[in-house]
Structure 1
């Protein structure tokens, strides 16, 4: 009973969830994150400016890129499983050999993107964007063995 009373008087502390990243206030354009385990470091890039950034062979599973500007960023051979790219600008992005299993890309933009050999299994994506990606989809992901067109349910 006493512990219940203490919790009522002093409720557990709540931690705020950051709405923007350091890259939102200080541009991270052209930065090189290649080979880094961003998930283990607890990194997030919400609403950040990451134009032309390099994420080659990065582990970014479950990393938040929501609303980020990733124009011409390079994610070759990246693990992007469970990452959030909702509303991100991914125009010109290179996703060659990337694994996006279970990622969120709803409302992201992909003009002039390279998606060769990517795995889109169970990705949350708008139908019109999915159709756009099907126009350029080809290859098989070298790590998962999944056909890019099949993972996007292309006709």
Structure 2
């Protein structure tokens, strides 16, 4: 377990070091060892990582992440076999975002007035990063690709 934690810390540290000069604190982990968030030492900003589940599963590896209020950099990784995205919405606005995304095939991303921010829709092995400004509160992250949200591809983002 110590080797896995050290390896995860090393990967997160190297990834954040490649993105800039800021030092970061170690990322909290879920029970399965997946990184959930990595707060930065910069004022009013943080970084989180959301991963799609492996294989053809319509799920994220973790369903709860935390971030500091302000600018939040979201990195979305898709190791899964299907195309996915991650869309940040206010709690309760999930279905309107999904409904609005149907008009933007083949990416299935909601318009700006239906989400707070989103990744690109990406295929197997790809990653995308975006930044969103968030106030303290509870938000949802969802996949708006057809039928993915309905099948359970969603999670909660708590901003403190």
TM-score by length of 1: 0.27
Return the structure number with greater strand share: 2
Q: Which has the higher contact order (CA 8 A, sep 6+)?
A: 2
TM-score normalised by structure 2 residue count: 0.27
- Larger-gyration structure (1/2): 1
